[in-house]
Structure formats: structure tokens, C-alpha cells
Amino acid sequence: MKKHLLSFLLLVPGLAQAQAPVPYTVKGKIGQLNAPAKIYLLRGNEVLDSATFKNGTFELKGTTDVPQSASLVIKRNGKLGTGVYGEMDVAQVFLEPGPVVLTSPELLRKATITGGPVTADNQRLQAALKPISAKMEAFGAESQKVPSEQRNSPAFAERMQAQFEAFNKEIVQRNRDFIKANPNSWVSLDALTGIGMWEVPQYAVVAPLYEAFSPALKNSPQGRQYGKMVRELKDIAIGTQAPAFSQQTPEGKTVALADYRGKYVLIDFWASWCGPCRAENPAVIKLYNEYKGRNFEILGVSVDNEKTREKWVKAIQEDHLTWPQVSDLRGMDNEVAQRYHVRAVPQNFLIDPTGKIVAANLHGEDLKATLARYIK
């Protein structure tokens, strides 16, 4: 789930020309590295610059429209290749006026980073997140001590899932706290867009954070793109009428959301190729069996495509999904997914008997608690 949720960094046509270029320099010393070792500066998958080490030193220069985050990657053989996220030494920096300097006796990821005010802001955010990273590392190490037969059990998998969901919530909350306290910081804009990696944005949560931003942040390419997304989220905010739709089951029967008027219905967006979606299915089946006779139904909407139709049908059978399943087999361009602004799966919406959205993106204990609250 949690992967490639939002395309925040698309430039608005013509806007880039209105921004004065910001010169930046990123330099430093990492151990005693020499050729062929190289360091790459990346923005997403785009290589902005690279340099070959000389006695551990490097320097990278360029311009950017606004201060923004980028990644430094060291490849000791000098070849970045196609595996940008493969085994490597990585650090995050912010491109801003003035030099950003990294120093480390050995590893880039453990470097001390100094720079201007944007870098200082980022260091404060990273310091706030560090305790959570430490807890995650400790939990991972402790989990490795569990005997293999226990690690393969459903109970262990559920415990792991619950714990990492708790970690995710902590990470998101620390980011929100920083954003709220620093509405004029470029780090806050980057953090708000980055939260989409951890949870699906909700209008009631992200709109106030975005609206508090300074005009400079809002009018940047990233800010304008995020603002567009916020306006779209308003269409499916909690309390709004759920967008109407109808699609067909694998057998060709048309099912409409209107068919469920008078009942609570969970619209469940998923796909046969989505591992997290299918990992959730056993827990969802358990809740469905508990509530299905109590004015509650589930309607599955698949974002599979024509090429994966057979896999979709097979997944329904293999996962023992007994509630109705529909799709137009257009992948993420599924008409229903577009109406609900679904950018990644799994994602779901709980609709009340009057057709209003009362909750969204419910998983694990949150789904269980929400159904218990609404369905008596």
C-alpha cells in the first residue's frame, strides 16, 4: 500500500519559468573513497548530478526552482545502473542556497549534515523521528529471535502487522506535529507530501495543514499539485454523499452502489496483484461473517485490467471472497477508482444507509472498532 500513492512532483505547465533559479552546492568528505566510487544526486529517479570521489571528497552543483529534498547515493563500483533502490549507501538532503556539507569517517547514511535554514529544519524533523526508528530496529531485532515455526504462524503475522501499523501512526503524527509548528518551512511541504507513503490522505486532516502554508509554499510546483489533490479529496470527505456508480461482476451482472441504500456498505478497492490487499482478506472475511446479517455488506472494486482478468477471478476464489466483486478492468483508470480519487490500493470507504461516507481507509483494529461503533 503505502507505495507511490501520489504524483506530487509533476510541474504545472509554465510555472517553472516564473520561479527564480536557486543555486545549490552539496559537498563533503566520506572516508577515503576514490575512483571508481561515485556519488549521485537524485530527485526521484532523475540523476541531477554525479561526481567521482577523490580522497573521500566530492562536490555537486546545480540550480533548483525552490528548495526541495533530494537523495545522495554512493556506488562504490561507480555504476548506478537501473536498481536505484538496490543495495547502496543513501542520505537525504535539501537543495537550498549556500553549501550543504556532509562528513563521515565511513558511511554516507551516518554522515553529519550541515547547511542553511532548510537543512536545519530537516535535522529537527529527523531528530523527532529518530526514537521511532530506534524502536522499529529493536522490534525487528527481537522478532528475529522468535523461532521460525512461530514466525510462520498467522498470529505472528498479525502481531507484526499491528506493530508496524502502530509505528506508521507514530511516524505520521510526528510529521504532522512538525508541519503544524512550521507552516513556512519547505521541509513541511516535503513532509506533507511524504505522509502519503504512510497513510492515504484524508481531507479533514491534510486540508488544514495545507491551508496554513505560506503563499510561497502553496505557489511552488509541489504546492500547487498538492493543492489540486486537496481539492479533489473534498469530493470524498467524511460526511459527503458517496459518488454513485455501477459496474459488472465477472459473470456480467451489473451491481450499483444504489442497490445498497438502507445498509452500511464497505466499498473495498483492491487488486489480485496487491499483496497487502490480499493479506488483509482473512481479517476482513472474519468481520464480514460477523456483521453480514446486521445491515452490513461489502462491495469489492478491483483495479485489475483485462490482462489480469483471470488472476482477478482466481484471487476471488482462492481468497474465498463471498461478497460481490465488480470491475471495468481498466486498472488504476477504473471509473469508480477515478470518482473516489483512489491512487493506490488497498483503500476503502464505509458508506452509511443514507449514502454518506462516514469513514475511510479502515484496516485491522480500526476497521473492527469502526464497524462495532456503527453497526449494532
pLDDT of 374 higher than 80: yes
Q: Confidence class of residue 11 from pLDDT cuts 50, 70 and 90?
A: very low
Grid cell digits, residue 186: 519547505
Per-residue pLDDT, 208: 97
Cβ neighbours of residue 29 under 8 Å, at least 6 residues apart?
A: 55, 56, 57, 58, 102, 103, 104
CA–CA separation, 326 vs 341, rounded Å? 17
List pLDDT tens digits, range 242-273.
999 999 999 999 999 999 999 999 999 999 99
Q: List the Cα angle 60/61/65 in 5-degree steps.
A: 130
The overall average pLDDT reported for the chain is: 90
Q: Confidence class of residue 10 from pLDDT cuts 50, 70 and 90?
A: very low
Cβ neighbours of residue 239 under 8 Å, at least 6 residues apart?
A: 356, 357, 358
Domains of the chain, CATH where assigned: 16-115 (2.60.40.10), 118-236 (no CATH), 246-374 (3.40.30.10)
Q: Confidence class of residue 80 from pLDDT cuts 50, 70 and 90?
A: confident
Quick count: other Cβ atoms within 10 Å of Cβ 110?
A: 11
Per-residue pLDDT, 147: 87
Positions marked catalytic: 277
Residue whose C-alpha is closest to residue 232's, from 339, 159, 148, 307: 339
pLDDT of 313 higher than 60: yes
pLDDT of 13 higher than 80: no
Q: Confidence class of residue 149 from pLDDT cuts 50, 70 and 90?
A: confident
Average pLDDT on 188-195 reads 96
Per-residue pLDDT, 150: 83
pTM equals 0.82
In this structure, is the dihedral angle defined by the CA atoms of residues 112, 118, 122 and 128, taken in order, positive or negative? positive
Per-residue pLDDT, 19: 57
Average pLDDT on 72-98 reads 81
pLDDT of 98 higher than 50: yes
41: alpha, beta or left? (left if phi > 0; alpha if psi -120 to 50): beta
